Structure 1
Amino acid sequence: MTSGSIERAIRWRLLGALAALWLSASALAALALWHETGEVLDSALTETAQRLLVLPMQHNSEEDDVLVAEVGEHEEYVIYQLFDARGRLRLRSHQAPDTPLAAGLADGMHEAGGRRLAVVTRDDGRRRAVVAEPVSHRYATLRSSVLALVLPLLVLLPIAATLLSLGLRRGLAPLRALGAELDAREPHQLTPLTLIDAGSELEPVRRSINALFDRVGRLLQAEQAFAAQAAHELRTPLAAARAQAQRLGALLQPGSAERDKLARLQSQLDRLERLALRLLDTARVRGAGSLRREPVDLVELARLAADELGTQAEPVHLDLHAAHAPIEGDPDMILIALRNLIDNARRHGRPPVSLHVTDRSIGVRDHGEGIRPDDLQRLMQPFVRDGAPDAGHGLGLSLVAEIARAHGAELDATRLGSEREVRLVWPPA
């Protein structure tokens, strides 16, 4: 995951959390508002009813006329009725009906006919007041209050997204710098990270990565030192053993059983010498740190490899399809790869062996069975062989693959008619 995708994921998660928090808070506020508003409005209805009970009545109580409070046209959310001791309606608001609102209801708060009712009777029973408010008015009040809480979210979310993006971009800048420095490193580069402004949050990560690099570097150095020392120590006694075997061969009769045994001994000495050379190559490649980057002409490199690795008995032919094939790389490492490929071709293939060069590839061809494409990835692993008794030690192709990866090239195995080819292919310039 890149730093950009991390930034986007954090931004959307924070925005989602902010929206969820805001909506949850709005829901809780709506519940609290509904409860508290209901209590306040119920208390107001009761207080209004109590005030109606103590109003002076100026007209004759024996008359059946109903006094209607007419104060002009206006929207009336609260309506009321006032009854006398005989249950006759004596006073009502101008939008209250003539029929009783709370017929059969006891004193207290009630909900009937879509209204919230407060019913109060005087202690002496002479008057009874009913005050009502539409429940829909309370719901409308609640909706307005909730919308006032939620609607700002539509404005604040884009602003919050912008501020979060700016803050995350600034806060994650050290992380992007760290990722860029890690991406720019060579495969074997284990030097400490040189991030200048890591920030207090990222500094422990930088220290941990540097400590890991240090531990891995020490382990690799120990491994490389052991491989180089072992290979060096092996080559000296092997050279002496080969010289003694050659002297002994001069004393033995051709075709004798002892001569056959000596030939098998020389074959094993050759095998050990190749192993020592592979170990030295491995130590050189893995101990090289970052590869040299310099202009390399694959055509000139192929000519040099053919001169160095070809012999009169086993020549290396050149098959050049370009006058020049410039790349950027380390010529010594590419020569090590070519030497391993030529050695594999000589031992597992059939002559002639040739170096094939195009403008973006260099490979070794022979007339053997070749490597199946399905087996190439498996054989590129260290110490993996094709199962034959004389298949080697499984180091050659893995070393070539490691050199190819370090150069940004791809190791490819193809079969062309009677020829097989293993080559290093660079991407287009």
Structure 2
Amino acid sequence: MKLIIADITRANLGTEQSLVNSILERYESHNNIVVYIYSLLEQLIDENIVTDRFKIKKVDPAEISFLTTMISSDLDAELNKSEDNTAIIVSFHSFVLTLASRYTNRVSAITWKEVLGRKLVNSGGWPEQLMPIDEAVSVLVDAMNESNSISRQSAQRASDLRSLLVNKDSRFNKSNPVASKTGLIKSIVNEAEERKLVHTFHNGTDPNYYIWLAGDFKSKAQINSTNFVHKGSISGQYIEILKGDGLGPFSGIRHKLFNSIEELIGRELGFIETNALINQAVATVKSEFENNNGVHLNYPWRRVRSFLLKLLSRNEVLLNIDEKPFRVTFSNLSTPVTGLVSNWRTILDSDLILALIENGVQIQVGEIQQLSGALFYDRDETSEQNVIKLIEYLLNRKLVVDINCTLNIG
């Protein structure tokens, strides 16, 4: 028999039923499914589907640290019944998914993204076509200031945040398909909370939650100041350092730029000059966002072009007519580009890590998740593996060295 453990304790409010439906559909032939959900939120699940094959286990939000103990207990009980029994864990939490490694060949772990076959907003993939995440956080803070939500007593209900944001910026209106995606508001709140700009509170009896400002932030300059970044998340610090060095990282559109470069070179068959390639790549991504979403984008496209230009000036990834790699300089802006070196994406992405180290950042082995958040705006297992591969590339090229579990210039 196979036990299916579906952990939805980190789900966006209101998505619980759809997640359960996805599990029941994916594992329709299985009769042993256990869903972990926060206490009181179980009332959001249709009670008619709770049967012998499907059970709900409630988790007190104040005891989330015991979640792995609870799940381990279920796994042990099931696996001890028979040597043939196995299990699958589905969760948003990486610390839950790692439980599988304790049970050699008997327990496997998959993310909700794999189950749903699409990328959830709350597990990463902020829609940059709406606006940069920094701007979204700034709008939230401004709206909270204007509503005087500066203490727990004057906190805003999460369900009221959409109206507050729309009053400040019409792009948050649900008529905009990009802004209507499930979990978008919660993503902004999560980011603001990680940056220590807001506090949130869940009283345990109301499926809603409350939010108020963590300090007196009166301007965008304060929100994005160096002092703020120092107090904020490690991912935020990495992003600000790269920004200050003109290196994006433009996590939401960087790979779209890469895709555009590849398509343009393939289409033009060596008849596109370096400068035109950069300009057209940026213009293509900009046009794609505006055509697909029909919204005006207040996005720093000039900075995007400068970022792409600088990244290509630091690395020999473009091929000239003699199929020799070159980096962009003043003297070769008119040089026709005929191709790309085989691992050019790895080179460019890993260069962002190298740039951080060049700026004095000491990246420690325990900060892979934060680095993943900065480079890919995603902290899921796939993004973390991508970061590990980039670091391995830098180590193999001896561009960096590992000294006492900290990356240093090689």
Normalising by the residue count of structure 2, what TM-score does the alignment of the two structures yield? Answer: 0.24
Larger relative contact order (CA 8 Å, sep ≥ 6)? 2
Structure with bigger gyration radius: 1
Normalising by the residue count of structure 1, what TM-score does the alignment of the two structures yield? Answer: 0.23
